Structure 1
Amino acid sequence: MTQIKPHGGKLINRTLTEQKRKKIIEQASEYQSVPISPDLMKDVENIASGLFSPLEGFNCREDFDSILYNKRLSNGLPWTLPIVLDTDNNGIKEGDEVLLKNNDHLVAVVHVEEKFGYDKRAYAEQVFGTNDAAHPGVAKTYSMKDKLLGGKISLVNESQTPYYKYAMKPAETRNLFKEKGWEKVVGFQTRNVAHLGHEYLQKSALTMVDGLFINPVIGKKKKGDFRDEVILESYEVLIDNYYPKDRVVLGIFQTEMRYAGPREAIFHAIVRKNYGCTHFIIGRDHAGVGSYYHPYAAQEIFKEFPDIGIEPMFFMSFFHCNKCGGITNDKVCPHNDRIDFSGTKMRQMIESGKRPPADSMRPEVADVILKSGNPFVE
């Protein structure tokens, strides 16, 4: 059985040996340190585990500029989102080794190769397609510090997660898929609970491959998105009740949502390739926010990346057609007598304590959401 190669050809490992780890901890007081957020801490761990292969650390200037303007690393490999470390510490110089800390938690060492300034407006316009500060990704970019540190990282301590049983590293998912005998694996990205449209989409993809990897983003989201624990519990009951047991794996991707639309779709595909997926589902408005992106912009961008090395599966919007008597989509249904799966409408019902109808959401999923009290990020 052959398995898809990681992006760039090999799975990166930037975790220190126990001996080197102890030495860093013992000498920690001798190093300068940079505070990092919980989300950046997770991305340091994602670099260390190989999930962001071929990255070995934070982007240096040449890669940073190439990502912004070419959507590729300087060696030509597809890569669409900068992974950067911002700082206002003027004492850090190129060649230094600097500790990364989240509060008192010592996360990693960064071997500083470059320290450079950047244009935040250009960053925002290239990555998010807008400089409007109402866009959450643009707002975050404008709040970043003025200098970036580029260089390889070495992970010292991994953080704890309450969702540890789903927090698999790419080496682990690859082994799991191999054990299951899955040669073709389709990945599904989500930041929402599942309605029947999502379920139909996943099962449609599953008919063409050996296994389905449901891979929700666990991390910082915008106000009004579903909370992590609600997303996971809703998928647990859905899989238990409506999916074949030997064909589905639920695992989490611990990172923040960037809301970068089409660029984030490419990034999400690369990450799933590193997990061992051969295919990746791209639906309507992937990683979008508001009306900043065309509903199918995330599908169109794949034309720029014939060399990405993972097969995208494109799906239109699904809906319930009363005349067909079931869930379908525009490709196969000619009728207008339809009920769209409106996330907004379902959200409004949930907020008022009402159960979404059975032709929109499985009752078990609705129960999970309603019993949670407040299922949304505040």
Structure 2
Amino acid sequence: MIKQQNPHGGKLIDRTLSSENVREIISQTDKFQSMDVDIGIARDMENIANGLFSPLEGFLTREDYENVLSNKRLSNGIPWTIPIVLDISHEKASIIKSGDDVILRYEDRPIALLHVEEIYDLDKDAHAQQVFGTTDKSHPGVANTYRMEDNLVGGKIDLLQETPSPYPKYALKPKETRKLFQEMNWNTIVGFQTRNVPHLGHEYIQKTALSNVDGLFINPVIGKKKSGDFRDDVILEAYETLIENYFPQERATLGIFQTEMRYAGPREAVFHAIVRKNFGCTHFIVGRDHAGVGSFYPPFAAHEIFSEFDDLGIIPMFFKSFFYCKKCGSIAHSKICPHSSDFYIHFSGTRMRELLVTGKRPPADSMRPEIADVILKYDNPFVE
């Protein structure tokens, strides 16, 4: 008997309406006020409705929001580190009130019904400092914060319809991944978060983690990223190639997490773990500078933050740095390799990127040639 991992908060949230209720609401949309949202907010609502963000049932109200900023927990004490909020303008805040139901639209399609509970001010300085640890606008998450409107609206949502996924084959919901893991007879599953194509260091981490569990769930973030990150289609094709050629098919699977990167470092590492717990994972890989950007976070800050959460309900697996040892003739790390650093070849994403940009394969001790070939067939594999 496969024992399912409990969702965060104990219950997998489902805020999707029946088709009959959806038809009724859409037939009366002219009776509701409405607001336009961007794709990031649309994906947040889908992730709430489908249980990826359990136990959230909507956008944070003030008490939960302030607790998340100050304590990294919801007001009921459940760990939560990234504020999931909806920002609105002063103009919109002046015409809606607590108790209103508001249609939220993306590209003029009604996608959710928001049950307004509360409208409150956004302190952008406090938000940036608490979530990202800085108010420096060169940090992409901070820059996004200062582009937000000045008010936040909290309340539960009901999903009317989803926005089409560009990769429906891999857009699995928690109910589907949990069923899949059960069908594959996996009791223990390790989740791997990524926004990059795989090099040999990533593969080594994945296989080391997989040695201790039943299955590996490779779960790339698909959505808005900063300029210079790899494109979503490149990441997916690279991982398809890696799994097909270098993993036992009954031990690894691929699914996507449709959201935007926030680059919140340690806080985002915990958030990523919670989401993978909701997918059904029992373990989660936390790498060096997880979800970091530039030099904003110490290299292992994302490891240290987990000491604050002995009640997280998912087991973090910490990995530091790996290298190719010319003396060992294999990938190694400091606990298993006795040799001098003179023999080390470190995995440099920057160096690999430089080679790929010039149309050259990274060396075979850094990246699988099949992966390099996937990347090189694209005229521009990077986000512009």
| Structure-1 residue corresponding to 2:261 | 257
For 1:44, the aligned partner's letter is M
SS in structure 1 at match of 2:332:
strand
- Once the 2 structures are TM-superposed, how far is the Cα of residue 32 of structure 1 from its aligned partner? 1.1
Q: Distance in 1 between matches of 2:369 and 2:349?
A: 16
Aligned runs of 1:1-378 on 2, under 5 Å? 1-88=2-89, 89=92, 90-335=94-339, 336=341, 337-378=343-384
Q: Distance in 2 between matches of 1:331 and 1:136?
A: 35
- Once the 2 structures are TM-superposed, how far is the Cα of residue 8 of structure 1 from its aligned partner? 0.3
Q: Distance in 1 between matches of 2:338 and 2:148?
A: 49
SS in structure 2 at match of 1:193:
coil
- Once the 2 structures are TM-superposed, how far is the Cα of residue 158 of structure 1 from its aligned partner? 0.8
Q: Distance in 2 between matches of 1:12 and 1:52?
A: 8
Cα deviation 1:201-253 (Å, max 9, x = unaligned)? 00000000000000000000000000000000000011111100100010000
Q: Distance in 2 between matches of 1:333 and 1:100?
A: 55
Cα deviation 1:319-350 (Å, max 9, x = unaligned)? 10011110011222232110000000000111
For 2:103, the aligned partner's letter is L
CA RMSD of aligned residues (A): 0.6
TM-score (norm 2): 0.98
For 1:228, the aligned partner's letter is D
SS in structure 1 at match of 2:7:
coil
Judge conservation of contact 2:36–2:108 (CA < 8 Å) in 1: no
Extract structure 1 runs of 4+ deviating beyond 2 A.
Answer: none
Cα deviation 1:158-196 (Å, max 9, x = unaligned)? 111120000000000001001111000000000000000
Judge conservation of contact 2:5–2:277 (CA < 8 Å) in 1: yes
- Once the 2 structures are TM-superposed, how far is the Cα of residue 18 of structure 1 from its aligned partner? 1.1
Structure 2 unaligned segments of length 5 or more: list them.
none
Q: Distance in 1 between matches of 2:79 and 2:298?
A: 22
Judge conservation of contact 1:32–1:98 (CA < 8 Å) in 2: yes
Q: Distance in 2 between matches of 1:106 and 1:196?
A: 44
For 1:190, the aligned partner's letter is T
Q: Distance in 1 between matches of 2:239 and 2:17?
A: 34
The sequence identity of aligned pairs, in percent, is: 65
Q: Distance in 1 between matches of 2:152 and 2:96?
A: 11
For 1:46, the aligned partner's letter is N
Q: Distance in 2 between matches of 1:115 and 1:167?
A: 32
For 2:6, the aligned partner's letter is K
Cα deviation 1:12-64 (Å, max 9, x = unaligned)? 00001111100111011121111111111011000000010000000000000
